[in-house]
Structure 1
Amino acid sequence: MRLENSYGIDLGTGMVKIYDQKADHITQESTMIALRNGNQVFAVGNDAYSMFEKAPADVRIIRPVSNGRINDILMTEAVLHTLLRRNTTYTGSRPTLYFSVPMDLTEIEKRAYASIAQKGRLRRSRVFLVEKPIADAIAVGVPLHHTKGTMIINLGAQSTELSVLADERVIINRLVPIGGMQFDQAVREGVLHKNNFMISSRTAQRLKFVLTDFRQEPSEGRKVYGLDRSSGLPRDGIVSAHTVTRMVRHECLLLADEIRKFIDRIPPQVQESIRRDGIILTGGSARIPGIDQYFRSQLEYPVRISQYYGMSTIQGIRILIRRPEMRHWAIDPSRNTV
């Protein structure tokens, strides 16, 4: 059987995941791009991320995507073209690109994705959009044609998307501006207050996953390097798991409050279905130990974690690409029809 030249793309603020249909393989790299002398591309993906927070003065590191919205079409196209060439079987011959997108994109923001197929090195591509909650639901096996109420919480880098699916569609959706980056910033602030020294966002992200644990009283610590708050000189220090967990828990408490408000908007009969089947938690921060237990106690609803964590969305697109009967869930942004 001849395979199509199709690629699935989950274009996030922090990471871009790419599915290659021919190789049946998923890769992920940072969404960052490094520019020198204005807009001259210097490094892309993980190469750019390796320079983040320590790049020389003449190098600028940017994220061309924010909350699933393309802020810079040319830079986004440069990231995608480079990573497709680097990590997939892409040869430049009219690919079909399936992008995951948040539910609340405007028509103009959707057309930004279509613009990728009209200019630059990815021109003459075919572009389709797949709503993130639909892709997540496909990944975890939600029967979209039969569900009477499924709730999915996607913990993204910059925000958390709350969605309820019923009657073969997303009936309620909301984007909450709390995500993994806010967790990281809270950890940085906690370390600054407790240890009196500044750590990078990269170090904070690492501590978030290594030390946070909602299942038990945290006790261990980690030696990390940063800058002394008073002198500005480099030094090391021991950051306790208690400090990190406390800061992440505070952000999760704020998020839980927003989720409760969202649940109050759900029709009672749909709430009953969700209570029976449970809330599905996806996204990179779903890997934090015990985070499902935390939300279970806060929301008083069953909560289960997707086995794919932050790879759920791209796994859903993978399934959609490989099963033609599911492709009706993909939207053609140039036609604005399903």
Structure 2
Amino acid sequence: MFNRWYIIDAGAYQIRIFDESKDELIQFQSIIAYKNNEVVSVASQATEYVYHRNNSIKVKYPFCEGKILSDIMPLLKYGLNIEKHIWKRPCVLICLLNRSQQEEQKWISYAKELGIYRVEFITIADLMKEHIHFYIHLGHSYTLIGLNIDGKQSFQKVIPFAGYQIDEAIVQTVLKKTKCFISMEDARMLKEACSKSLLKNKNAKLSCFGMNKYNQYEKVQVSSMDLWPCIEAVEKQIILWTKQMISTCSLELQEKILENGIYLSGGLANCFGLQPYLKYELKCPIICTNTPQYDIMNKMKERRND
């Protein structure tokens, strides 16, 4: 009763923080804008500097592949509304990609500077504990493929095929088709719009602004089918790695995995094509909630309540 718990799921593109005392979830982009090494703005306010012509202002995404690459203190101060009451000691539960003393120490150092009373860690694998649980967590900068048996991790593999790689491919596709360079922020929005339109069986015309060879912004337009190969190539790699990981198991275990199905979580889980591809290639049930981007946070909340 004397602790105020915050649950943190920090991703390469977005951070989610749940404040138990307020029963409130906030989420914001993992981006910081700097000018001469001084913080200008964070989260959505920082995205405007992606298009800023002032070269002295730089933007950074401090998380990648489950690791802290640069200072995250501005984001933590923005997201953690820590009220300094004697009877409410701030505590945090943080989800990590895997057990890493180096990463844990980074988080502990930031927490100490913020005045956090207690820090606990949990991994994605810790949250996937069932009798036989084959899972694929699809983030922005990585995909995690793992298997738990009777609550114990059998194997885990991190592959560099996820949302970020789709965005990179979209940037190159738009450049090739329109001779204009778009930002990764625009590529992400085009990816989401493309997926939504294809889910509706439509080949929509998608537009954004790109910079031409004269350093001028102009409106560019592509179709969903223009971008579909960017998504498909990454999904095929995920399926290929999934099949390879399953093939390393005994035949008996393979049968049990395919009988129980594969659990998908993460922001890319509902992307067009992935679930049907997996189901067709592996001939097994594909288990996915309507909001897989919140699955990790929801499982962390359940674990806190146990």
Q: Deviations along 1:175-204, whole A, 9 cap, x unmatched?
A: 101111111111111222233322221221
Q: Report the alpha carbon displacement of residue 164 of structure 1 after superposing the two structures with TM.
A: 1.0
Q: Report the alpha carbon displacement of residue 3 of structure 1 after superposing the two structures with TM.
A: 7.1
- Following superposition, which runs of at least 4 residues in structure 1 exceed 6 angstroms of deviation? none
Q: Aligned residue for 2:124?
A: 132
Work out the CA distance in 1 between the residues paired with 2:51 and 2:84: 33
Cα root mean square deviation, aligned:
2.2
Distance 1:292 1:92, change over 3 A: farther
Work out the CA distance in 2 between the residues paired with 1:295 and 1:79: 36
| Alignment of 1:83 onto 2:82 | no
| Alignment of 1:28 onto 2:33 | no
Q: Aligned residue for 1:106?
A: 100
Distance 1:261 1:254, change over 3 A: same
Q: Aligned residue for 1:187?
A: 170
Q: Deviations along 1:200-252, whole A, 9 cap, x unmatched?
A: 21221111111236668652222332123x54433223201111112210121
Distance 1:273 1:214, change over 3 A: farther
What amino acid does structure 1 have at the position aligned with 2:165? Q
For structure 2, the residue ranges without an aligned partner over 5 or more in a row are none
Work out the CA distance in 2 between the residues paired with 1:172 and 1:21: 32
Q: Does the Cα contact within 8 Å between 2:91 and 2:116 map onto a contact in 1?
A: no
Distance 1:303 1:57, change over 3 A: same
Q: Report the alpha carbon displacement of residue 297 of structure 1 after superposing the two structures with TM.
A: 2.1
SS at match of 1:301: coil
Q: Report the alpha carbon displacement of residue 168 of structure 1 after superposing the two structures with TM.
A: 1.2
Q: Deviations along 1:29-56, whole A, 9 cap, x unmatched?
A: 0111222222x22212222233234363
Q: Aligned residue for 2:63?
A: 65
TM-score of the aligned structures, taking structure 1 as reference length? 0.82
> Identity rate of aligned residues, in percent?
21
Distance 1:20 1:209, change over 3 A: same
Greater shift in the superposed pair: 125-134 or 297-306? 297-306
Q: Does the Cα contact within 8 Å between 2:30 and 2:75 map onto a contact in 1?
A: yes
Distance 1:259 1:185, change over 3 A: same
Kindly indicate whether structure 1 or structure 2 has the higher relative contact order, using CA contacts under 8 Å at least 6 residues apart: 1
Q: Does the Cα contact within 8 Å between 2:50 and 2:183 map onto a contact in 1?
A: no
Q: Deviations along 1:133-165, whole A, 9 cap, x unmatched?
A: 333x3xxxxxx3xx3311111111111011111
For structure 1, the residue ranges without an aligned partner over 5 or more in a row are 138-143, 326-338
Work out the CA distance in 1 between the residues paired with 2:214 and 2:282: 44
What amino acid does structure 2 have at the position aligned with 1:23? K
Greater shift in the superposed pair: 284-293 or 245-254? 284-293
Q: Does the Cα contact within 8 Å between 2:183 and 2:210 map onto a contact in 1?
A: yes
Distance 1:294 1:77, change over 3 A: same
| Alignment of 1:273 onto 2:256 | yes
Greater shift in the superposed pair: 192-201 or 29-38? 192-201
Q: Does the Cα contact within 8 Å between 1:153 and 1:162 map onto a contact in 2?
A: yes
Q: Deviations along 1:302-331, whole A, 9 cap, x unmatched?
A: 22223332111111111222x1x3xxxxxx
Q: Report the alpha carbon displacement of residue 114 of structure 1 after superposing the two structures with TM.
A: 2.1
Within-5 A mapping of 1:78-227? 78-85=74-81, 90-93=82-85, 94-103=89-98, 105-118=99-112, 120=113, 122-135=114-127, 137=128, 144=129, 147-212=130-195, 218-227=202-211
TM-score of the aligned structures, taking structure 2 as reference length? 0.90
Work out the CA distance in 2 between the residues paired with 1:215 and 1:8: 32
